[in-house]
Chains A and B, each alone.
Chain A
């Protein structure tokens, strides 16, 4: 065999798996069909969207809060071309970082489309076509944006998240189909830059899957940004004529609405990507939703082939894929790692951010578990007043009997970074009182975390 391990796909799951394999002394190759490494996350996902979110947030602050901070400037103007160029540069730095990591760990990078010839052989077709064999193979081919069957994506005005990161102009009216994380983030970008944003969502809440309090808080905040929401509406038609895109949707009563805009972003989720992979040649099974079937050890039905990340079941998150990459690499090396899927945090990078880990209130109610709730609003926080980031709250759910923290949900400034404490606490099965008894630096946003823990312990926050 040419390699001990071959990884197909170089997203955060694939490249992390490759590095961990190399660290554990295995001869490793990684196969990537695009010119740059890093997959969706680095090229057309997490990183570029954060770059645009930060730029647009600066613009929004300059337009709205500078004055109150005592900074008088002329009305700022959007230079979208520069924003996109800066974003491209951020992406470039990141993918080059992955290139460096591959070299440093002596991992062979093969550019081209990898497909199975047989269970141990992969044909790579691209700039440097070659056939390689490997003892173990990790499928990490990720996902692509999903689409509605009746919608024609022209990738010009009816677009997916990928195109939304490359627009040449700020839309006048952006219609977003799907109230999930991606739609809310990209909607925020263009909403802050001046677009009118209309969201059409099939369910009766946005960011479904997260605690309902978070959805309500975020919706309130986005409405403040000028978002219009049509929840509980099923899209029936998307039609483009010239520069106008018309979206028709009906509510549960059958009442039809029509929204006209100049761009329509379809962000209804993502689907696993296995085309061109030749799974049949390897005998690897996929399930009815196109996901590669794996067991609890992320092993496919073929003994030496594993799959990780978006291409398998579970949340489509970069950090989930990374954990799985490490898990598989260590499993191959004979170690016994573990992933607590309940403690993989979820984050929405709007402003205020939303972050959450563990059980939601809805899930606990469904389970019939007795729990206590502790909440603390940002507006009672000195730090938040100082920065004018007073939207949002921290919500901690704890077991009624044992006080063990069961879920942490934050909507507010820096929630994405704060959630790590929730994960740490829950990995150690800390109680709400444990957190409440730890010193938190003042003044910080994390004080809201401590206060919410006090509230959850026995409803005794200090600053409320």
Chain B
């Protein structure tokens, strides 16, 4: 009996997903609830787990785009697979004792294969199997990296794995990686597999369990963290029992759970070079996370597929700063949330969006979609990358509701707890590069939206008012927009309108 597994409905507006990776190979035996593949929508990535235990037959390949409901794979529920029911389990036990796996006494040595002409050595990036594990023929047992690519190492025989080279070891072509004590006959049933799996989980969970010393910084590490202003609790320690070592502290970066310009994300994905004493030529390589892959793919596609350009203006922030100064305390006391700039910008944008609906619109194939509401996306930089949670119906929220929503979403974003629902469906985006000190930037549209407002830093600049040069706190604002749907008149007028509303916030109140 085989069960067809289909692409699940993952979110309201998501009609299509891409297979990011298969964690299992065609023909592998999978356990129920085991993660078998990773899917990506344009919002997020999620994992698909096996609905039953059995043999996996893959129907769609990595990189394929599938509609919701399309067939992903089939799982053959067959003998040798433990079912939840006890009687069947007993049968399985019988079949095992009837046909035991036999060690042959032969030990197969596995060596680093030649992987490319100019490649002389490789590094073991990780073992997917542990020492002593039972491995099947062709099962992936390790991931190997050369300076050109990474590839999987598969078992050349069925049997018990003896690991010789450790993770991080660099080996020459032909060097010994591991040995397999060859075992003939049927693979141990999945019940054995499960026992082994559960045993190894217990061991792992013991070793990775938090102890009283988890997160304790060594003397040198503590000094470095204090100087960086990083709380030890935000650093994950690589030392024994999670102790924070000096190198953990050297590499630790301050988490910034705050809005960031979308343009920021187009920088290369490698970690910034570590500042070290002396001259260094060290480069580090790490795998792109699924989130980073999604972000990078989408940003490039927006650049290629829209007619994007940017219009600029400047805003005298003095009136808002005065207003904030005057009511900051009262606002905080009454609503238990600070009065920031975000509420002013969000309100000003929603009012301007009402007047210039094209800026709030989107292109969907041959049609234009205009929304009656303003769902404002806020770009937030998190330790894992950029996310864009949405403030729903921002046009009908009051200042304190907006401020609270910003705090709530930013906190969830930082903790990586945003749901897909909270990230999808925005009609317009605001990004603030000013908090990092950006003077001016051209943000990239958050597709399928058509426009994005970029906020920047506030700098005292000389401006002319009534024929006099005076010093005012000025913020440059930028609106990137899709010229296919928004005309120059609309975009420029929108931005001018935002400027007017911010420079005279009384207008927000009376709607003129």
A interface residues (Cβ-Cβ under 8 A, vs B): 335-338, 340, 399, 401-402, 404, 427-431, 434
B window 219-242: CB within 8 A of A? 219, 222-223, 226-227, 239-240
CB distance from A367 to the nearest CB of B (A): 16
Residues of A within 8 A of B288 (CB): none
A402–B219 alpha-carbon span in the complex (Å): 21
Given contacts A402-B212, A404-B212, A404-B213, contact A428 B218 (CB under 8 A): yes
Whether the pair B211, A336 counts as a contact (CB closer than 8 A) is no
* Alpha-carbon gap, A336 to B227, bound state (A): 5
Q: Return the chain B residue nearest A434 by Cβ.
A: B240
Contacts of A434 in B (CB 8 A): 240
Q: Does B216 contact A (CB under 8 A)?
A: yes
B243 located at the interface, meaning its Cβ lies under 8 Å from any Cβ of chain A in the complex: yes
Tell me the nearest residue of chain B to A401, going by C-beta. B212
Q: How far is the CA of A402 from the CA of B223 in the complex (A)?
A: 25
Q: Which A residues are CB-close (under 8 A) to B243?
A: 428-429
Instruction: Decide if B219 touches A427 in the complex (CB within 8 Å).
Output: yes
CA distance A401 to B211 in the complex (A): 11
Interface residue ranges, B against A (CB under 8 Å): 211-213, 216, 218-219, 222-223, 226-227, 239-240, 243
Q: Which residues of the other chain, A, contact B226 by a CB distance below 8 angstroms?
A: 336, 338
- Given the complex, which residues of A lie within 8 Å of B211, measured CB to CB? 402
Q: How far is the CB of A320 from chain B (nearest CB, A)?
A: 15
Docked pose: A429 CA to B232 CA in angstroms: 15
Q: Evaluate whether A336 and B223 lie within 8 angstroms (CB atoms) in the complex, with A402-B211, A428-B243 already known.
A: yes
Check A337 against B223 for contact (C-beta < 8 Å).
yes
Q: Contact check, A429 vs B216: say whether CB atoms are below 8 A apart.
A: yes
15 further contact pairs, Cβ within 8 A, besides A336-B223, A338-B222 = A336-B226, A337-B223, A340-B219, A401-B212, A402-B212, A404-B212, A427-B219, A428-B216, A428-B243, A429-B212, A429-B213, A429-B216, A429-B243, A430-B213, A431-B213
Chain B min CB distance to A435 (Å): 12
Cα A338 to Cα B223 with chains together (Å) = 6
How many angstroms between the C-alpha atoms of A430 and B227 in the bound complex? 25
With the chains together, A335 CA to B222 CA distance in Å?
Answer: 12
21 A-B interface contacts by CB (under 8 A): A335-B223, A336-B223, A336-B226, A336-B227, A338-B219, A338-B222, A338-B223, A338-B226, A340-B219, A401-B212, A402-B212, A428-B213, A428-B216, A428-B218, A428-B239, A428-B243, A429-B212, A429-B213, A429-B243, A431-B213, A434-B240
Least CB distance, A426 to chain B, in whole angstroms: 11
**Alpha-carbon gap, A428 to B240, bound state (A):** 10
A-B contact count (CB 8 A): 32
Within the assembled complex, what's the spacing in Å between the Cα atoms of A58 and B239?
A: 45
B contact residues around A431 at 8 Å (CB): 213
A70 to B369, CA, bound (A): 104
CB of A383 to closest CB in B, whole Å? 28
Contacts of A399 in B (CB 8 A): 212
Distance in angstroms between the alpha carbons of A401 and B216 in the assembled complex: 17
| A430 cross-chain contacts in B, Cβ below 8 A | 213
A314 to B90, CA, bound (A): 71
CA distance A336 to B222 in the complex (A): 9
B213 touches A335 (CB 8 A): no
State A338–B217 Cα separation when bound (angstroms).
Answer: 12
- 6 smallest CB-CB distances across A and B, nearest first, come from A336-B226, A402-B212, A429-B213, A336-B227, A429-B216, A427-B219
Tell me, in angstroms, the Cα distance from A431 to B216 when the chains sit together. 13
Least Cβ–Cβ distance between A216 and chain B, in angstroms: 31
B309 → chain A, closest Cβ, in Å? 45
Across-interface contacts of B212 in A (CB, < 8 A): 399, 401-402, 404, 429
Report A-chain residues with C-beta under 8 Å of the C-beta of B223.
Answer: 335-338
Q: Which residues of B contact A338 (CB under 8 A)?
A: 219, 222-223, 226
Chain A residues near B222 (CB, 8 Å)?
Answer: 338
Q: Which residue of A lies closest to B226 (CB)?
A: A336
| B227 close to A427 (CB less than 8 A) | no
Which single residue of chain B is at the shortest CB-CB distance from A402? B212
Q: Using Cβ atoms and an 8 Å threshold, which residues of chain A touch B213? A: 402, 404, 428-431
The docked-state distance in angstroms from the alpha carbon of A434 to that of B213 is 12
A429 vs B244: C-alpha distance when bound (angstroms): 11
B214 to chain A minimum Cβ distance, whole angstroms, is 10
CA distance A340 to B213 in the complex (A): 16
Q: Which A residues are CB-close (under 8 A) to B239?
A: 428
Name the distance in Å between A321's Cβ and chain B's nearest Cβ: 18
Q: How far is the CA of A430 from the CA of B211 in the complex (A)?
A: 11
State in angstroms the CA–CA spacing of A340 and B219 once bound together. Answer: 9
Taking CB atoms, residues of chain B closer than 8 Å to A336 are 223, 226-227
B394 CB, nearest partner CB in chain A, Å: 42
- CB A400 to nearest CB in B, in angstroms, measures 12
B227: min CB distance to chain A, Å: 5
Considering the chains assembled together, what is the distance between the CA atoms of A427 and B244 in angstroms?
A: 12
CB proximity of B205 to chain A, nearest CB, Å: 18
B225 to chain A, nearest CB (A): 9
**Most chain A CB neighbours (cut-off 10 Å) among B211, B219, B223, B240:** B219
Chain A: which residue is nearest B211 at the CB level?
Answer: A402
Closest to A423 in B: B219
A429 to B218, CA, bound (A): 9
Q: How far is the CA of A402 from the CA of B226 in the complex (A)?
A: 26
CA distance A420 to B243 in the complex (A): 20
Q: Which residue of B is nearest A335, CB measured?
A: B227
Please give the distance in Å from A420's CB to the nearest CB on chain B. 13
In angstroms, how far is the closest chain B Cβ from the Cβ of A356?
A: 20
List the A side residues contacting B240 at CB < 8 Å. 434
Complexed CA–CA distance, A338 and B50 (Å)? 52
Chain B, Cβ-Cβ closest to A339 = B219
Complex CA–CA separation, A16 to B43 (angstroms) = 58
Residues of chain B lying within 8 A (CB to CB) of residue A427: 218-219
How many angstroms between the C-alpha atoms of A404 and B219 in the bound complex? 17
Best-buried of A336, A340, A431 by chain B (most CB within 10 Å): A336
Beta-carbon nearest neighbor of A334 in chain B: B227
Which chain B positions have C-beta within 8 A of A402? Answer: 211-213
Rounded to whole angstroms, the CA-CA distance of A434 and B239 in the bound complex is 13
The chain A residue with its CB closest to the CB of B213 is A429
A337 CA to B224 CA, complexed, in Å = 8
- In the assembled complex, the CB of B200 is this many whole angstroms from the nearest CB of chain A, namely 22
A324 nearest CB across to chain B (Å): 15
Least distance between B49 CB and chain A CB atoms (Å): 36
CB distance from B229 to the nearest CB of A (A): 9
| Whole-angstrom CA separation of A431 from B214 in the bound complex | 12
Closest to A399 in B: B212
A404 nearest CB neighbor, chain B only: B212
Give the chain B neighbours of A428 by CB distance below 8 A: 213, 216, 218, 239, 243
Residues of B within 8 A of A335 (CB): 223, 227
- In the complex, what residue of chain A is closest to B219 when comparing beta carbons? A427
**Could you say which residues of chain A place their CB within 8 Å of the CB of B219?**
338, 340, 427
